Amino acid sequence: MMLYVALSIVVLMIGIFSLMINRSIVKILIAIELISVAASMNFILFSWMRQDVFGQALMILALSVDTVVTGIVMALVIMLYRKFGFRHVEDLG
């Protein structure tokens, strides 16, 4: 059980580290997804520890919303790239 908590902490740290070092918009989006996956893993783990279904339902809702937001952001990134040629965060400023 504690191994899964450690795994979610490692995934969270990888997401935060890659969020700080990457400048590509797509890589930043992937880092945010890793952070979201780590949070979802914690929802599942703590609901399993409490023998409660509420955490699993919350995780399904979080993944659904996260998937929709990711699709919209990817569409905006592709549109910005096609129209202006932006690839990095510095180009937006």
pTM of the shown model: 0.82
Q: What is the pLDDT of residue 93?
A: 66
Per-residue pLDDT tens digits for 36-80: 999 988 888 888 888 888 888 888 898 899 899 999 988 988 888
The number of folded domains in the chain is: 1
Residues 6+ positions from 83 with CB-CB distance below 8 Å: none
What residues make up the domain containing 73?
2-92
How many angstroms separate the CA atoms of 15 and 17, rounded? Answer: 6
Q: What is the pLDDT of residue 71?
A: 92
With b meaning 16 or more CB within 10 Å and e meaning fewer, what string describes 54-70?
ebeeebeeeeeebeeee
CATH number of the domain where residue 15 is located = 1.10.287.3510
- CB count, 10 Å around CB of 8? 19
Q: What is the pLDDT of residue 8?
A: 94
